[in-house]
C-alpha cells in the first residue's frame, strides 16, 4: 500500500485542503513510516500501548490521546527527527529588536534553522540524530510538558498517525534471499518547502485480523458525517 493509498483509505485529507498542506501531511507520514521500518522496537511499544489503552475492538480517537503517552512522544519525535520544513518559513520582524547582542531592525527577514535546533545535542543529547521517543517522556513514562500545547493545531497529524499505528505492521521488504532491504535515511528529496525521504518500499500488513473491518467501519462513519 502506498502513502497516497493510505491517505485515501483513511480519508485524512479534505477536498478543500491546500496542495501545500497535503504535501506537508504526506511528508510527515513518509518520515514516520520510515522511522517505523528503521526502528521496529518503537513500533512494538506503540502497539503495546494502543492495545492496553484502546484495545482491538475500535479505532483510537483524538480523545484517547491524553492516555497514550508513548504515542504522543512518538509524534513529537517524528516532527523533530526529520522536520518537513527544515528551515521553516521566513518571518519578518514587526519592530526593532535585540537578540543576544544583535540588533534586528524592523522589517528584517528572519529564517530559523529548524534542522539545527532539532539536532542540538545540548538540548536532545548525544543521540539527537536517532529516533528516540523516550526523550519526551519523564522517568514515569509520562509525556513531558511542551512549551506550547499544539495538539489541537496538529490534530490531523495525530489522528493520521494514530490510525496507521493502530492498524498496521510496517516492516522492511525482503530481497530474493529473504533478507530485509533497509531504506536510506540520510538522503532526502526537497520539493520546494517540503522535504521528504527518498521513495522506499515497505511491507504494510494489517496488525490483527479485525483491523480491516474496523477500518472499513470507521471510514463509512466518517463519510456519512460529511
Say if 197 falls within a structural domain.
yes
Residue 131 has pLDDT above 70, yes or no: yes
pLDDT in tens, 48-69: 999 999 998 888 888 898 999 9
Query: For residue 112, what is its C-alpha cell?
Result: 530559523
The beta strand positions in 136-187, using DSSP E, are 168-174, 180-181
Say if 135 falls within a structural domain.
yes
Number of domains in the chain: 1
Please provide the distance, in angstroms rounded to a whole number, between the alpha carbons at the two ends of the chain. Answer: 25
Residue 17 has pLDDT above 70, yes or no: no
Residue 223 has pLDDT above 70, yes or no: yes
Long-range pairs for 50-58: beta carbons < 8 A, 24 or more residues apart:
50/165, 50/166, 54/166, 56/208, 56/210, 56/211, 56/214, 57/210, 57/214, 58/214
Q: Which domain holds residue 55?
A: 3-85+129-224
What band does 165 get if pLDDT is binned at 50, 70 and 90?
confident
Q: Tell me, what CATH number does 32's domain have?
A: 1.10.630.10
Q: Which residues contact 24 (CB under 8 A, 6 or more apart)?
A: 84, 85, 194
Say if 124 falls within a structural domain.
no
Q: How far is CA 97 from CA 104, 105, 108, 112, in A?
A: 5, 6, 10, 16
Q: Which helix (H) or strand (E) holds 110?
A: strand 109-110
Which sign does the torsion angle of CA 126, 130, 136, 142 carry? negative
Predicted pLDDT at 210: 83
Report pTM: 0.82
Say if 121 falls within a structural domain.
no
pLDDT in tens, 167-181: 889 999 999 999 999
Say if 117 falls within a structural domain.
no
Say if 209 falls within a structural domain.
yes
**Could you give phi then psi for residue 150, rounded to 5 degrees?**
-105, 15
Say if 112 falls within a structural domain.
no
Amino acid at each position: 500500500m502506498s502513502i497516497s493509498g493510505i491517505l485515501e483509505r483513511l480519508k485524512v485529507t479534505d477536498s478543500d485542503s491546500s496542495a501545500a498542506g497535503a504535501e506537508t501531511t504526506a511528508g510527515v507520514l513518509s518520515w514516520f513510516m520510515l522511522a517505523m521500518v528503521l526502528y521496529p522496537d518503537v513500533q512494538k511499544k506503540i502497539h503495546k500501548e494502543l492495545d492496553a489503552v484502546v484495545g482491538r475492538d475500535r479505532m483510537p480517537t483524538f480523545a484517547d490521546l491524553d492516555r497514550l503517552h508513548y504515542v504522543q512522544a512518538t509524534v513529537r519525535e517524528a516532527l523533530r527527527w526529520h522536520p518537513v520544513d527544515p528551515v521553516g518559513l521566513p518571518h519578518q520582524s514587526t519592530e526593532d529588536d535585540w537578540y543576544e547582542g544583535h540588533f534586528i531592525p524592523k522589517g528584517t527577514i528572519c529564517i530559523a534553522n529548524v534542522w539545527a535546533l532539532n539536532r542540538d545535542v545540548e538540548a536532545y543529547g548525544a543521540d539527537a540524530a536517532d529516533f528516540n521517543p523516550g526523550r519526551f517522556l519523564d522517568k514515569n513514562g509520562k509525556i513531558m510538558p511542551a512549551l506550547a500545547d499544539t495538539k489541537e493545531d496538529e490534530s490531523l497529524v495525530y489522528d493520521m498517525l494514530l490510525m496507521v499505528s493502530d492498524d498496521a505492521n510496517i516492516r522492511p521488504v525482503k530481497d530474493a534471499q529473504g533478507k530485509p532491504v533497509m531504506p536510506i535515511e540520510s538522503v532526502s528529496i526537497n520539493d520546494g518547502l517540503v522535504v521528504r525521504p527518498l521513495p522506499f518500499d515497505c511491507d504494510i500488513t494489517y496488525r490483527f485480523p479485525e483491523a480491516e473491518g474496523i477500518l472499513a467501519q470507521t471510514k463509512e462513519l466518517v463519510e456519512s458525517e460529511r
